[in-house]
Homo-oligomer: A and B are copies of this chain.
Amino acid sequence: MSSGMKFRVKKIPVKIERLSVILNQGDAEEIGVLVGDRVRVTFGGKSCTADVQIGTGLIERGEVGLYSSVMEELMVDEGDEVGIYPFPRPASVDYIRKKMDGHKLSKDEIYQIIEDIVNNSLTDVEIAAFVISNYVKTMDFDEIEWMTKAMIETGETITFERGIVVDKHSIGGVPGNKISLMIVPTIAASGLLIPKTASRAITSASGTADTMEVLANVNLGVEEIKEITERVGGVIAWGGATYIAPADDKIIQVEYPLSIDPKPQLLASVMAKKGAIGAKYAVIDIPTGEGAKVPTMEIARELSNDFVELGRRLGLNITCAITYGGQPVGRAVGPALEAWEALKAMEEGKGSTSLLEKSMGIAGILLEMTGKAANGYEAARRLFESGKTLEKFREMVEAQGGDPNVKSDDIPIGDKVYHVESTYEGAVVNVDNKRIVRIARAAGAPKDKGAGVYIHKKKGEVVKPGDKLLTIYADKEWKLTQAIELALKEPPILVSGMILEKYPSYRMI
């Protein structure tokens, strides 16, 4: 609409992902743009869209400050002259407002929003507006289906040449959930293909990618994921190293500071990843219980229905497994500790009940869905106890550049150790998921691989004074100290008869 002006490039040595330019206040007024408005930046035959910031006392009239991102995009050097032209707000901002007003979006509108998120045309505030609107006004199934498809189509996808592709996904919220390390090799050992892309921890103590990384490289591109899966049957890779459903990563970035995860986004996020790798069957693990993401069975059932319906629309056969999420799965929490617990179980063909039952239960569902077994749980358990799961896991580790001969007891665990002991006699009445995670993180997880928590006593187990309740492991002394402080201030394991909290002038016995 309006004409622009020429500006001399000044380099801003900060690398940020968004494309932004910094103008002098006077120049911004001159071309009629405000902070947050968009401009088209042109140089030679190249151009890109960027948003406007104002530099006070930094940028002179006639200068434009360009971040490394924009300079690389345009292949421009300091001192070069670029053109800057006001550029209208993308139409997707209007569509976001439409959702904010409670209206249903069309397929084209949703595709445009997702495309603009992926190509950096929307600011954080605009993406936040989209996520908040979806949280408050929600979406119907048509919209969720379109959003999922748009997320798949704006990223990389994998097409396998052979085999039946299956997947599993845990929606999270329960600590110690290292089940993928046992499910993926069991399923691969059955002859199915399971190219599992996993996430790293954001607020948890260890994501599946963090745990697998203790034993193997998880930074794999889609070509490697495809090759390893076709050769070995399974892989556990970090999704963030691929360009699968890239819109999801950006949406998660704005969800995190607001602590919201709107249902449309949750559904689309999970299913886009399954759809992008061409899965035909998938199990969704929905940990349910106090302190988990889903607190009640009622909500879990509703969410299950939503996953199944969205799967139907996408041609993806979904079974949801509502699992107990009221305390950690297994006993180990933290990357190395979890890798150790999973590998130990595979070596011995046995392990913590909650871990083994859950892993084999979910593997079994996949075996039944694909017709591999009439009694899936039994079939999975046979693979596991016969050593086939361990053998396949070693193949995966080797294919992912790890040591296939690694033993569980070789895994380095933090050497700064503290045992929290019970001073009471009684039974464990609660193991608090959130407190366990906070202690493991204070100890250094997920960054310090050896850091974490081992839980000696879980719900219902009998405790005598002097019994160990949990052991904290850390790689660094100062992190151990802060984890201990936290564990004493906010006891994560409650024994009947304990004083739950102390107030200066108030006691609850």
Contacts and interface: CB of A to CB of B under 8 A. Distances in A.
A406 interface: no
A257 B3 contact: no
Task: Report copies per complex.
Answer: 2
Contacts of A14: 12, 14, 22, 55, 58, 65
Interface residues of A, number: 58
A97 interface: yes
A379 B486 CA distance: 73
B93 A125 contact: no
A136 B3 CA distance: 37
Given A3-B478, A32-B447, A260-B97, A124 B126 contact: no
Contact of A125 (B2, B34, B258): B258
Nearest to A258: B129
Contacts of A257: 36-37, 89, 93, 123, 125-126
Nearest to A15: B56
Contact of A132 (B1, B2, B93, B132): B132
A95 to B, nearest CB: 12
A89 B259 CA distance: 11
A137 interface: yes
A296 interface: no
Interface string A228-261: 0000000000000000000000000110111110
A177 interface: no
A271 B125 CA distance: 26
Contacts of A68: 57
Nearest to A489: B1
Contacts of A444: 32
Nearest to A36: B257
A135 B136 CA distance: 11
A29 interface: yes
A442 interface: yes
A319 to B, nearest CB: 31
Interface string A199-224: 00010000000000000000000000
A89 B256 CA distance: 11
A30 interface: yes
Nearest to A259: B97
Contacts of A133: 132, 136
A34 B57 CA distance: 30
Contacts of A56: 15
A16 interface: yes
A36 B125 contact: no
Nearest to A441: B32
A68 B100 CA distance: 36
A128 interface: yes
A100 B136 contact: yes
A504 interface: no
A32 B204 CA distance: 11
Given A29-B447, A125-B128, A133-B132, A2 B97 contact: no
B53 A16 contact: yes
A30 B447 contact: yes
A13 B100 contact: no
A482 interface: yes
A35 interface: yes
Contacts of A58: 13-15
Interface in A158-205: 202
Interface in A443-487: 444, 447, 478-479, 481-482, 486
A254 B125 contact: yes
A30 B448 CA distance: 8
A482 B2 contact: yes
Given A14-B55, A14-B65, 19 more contacts: A1-B482, A3-B481, A14-B58, A15-B55, A15-B57, A32-B442, A36-B257, A93-B257, A97-B260, A100-B135, A100-B258, A123-B257, A124-B125, A125-B125, A128-B128, A128-B129, A128-B132, A132-B136, A136-B137
Which 4 A-B pairs give the minimum distances between C-beta atoms? A29-B447, A36-B257, A15-B56, A125-B128
5 contacts: A14-B55, A36-B253, A97-B258, A100-B136, A136-B136
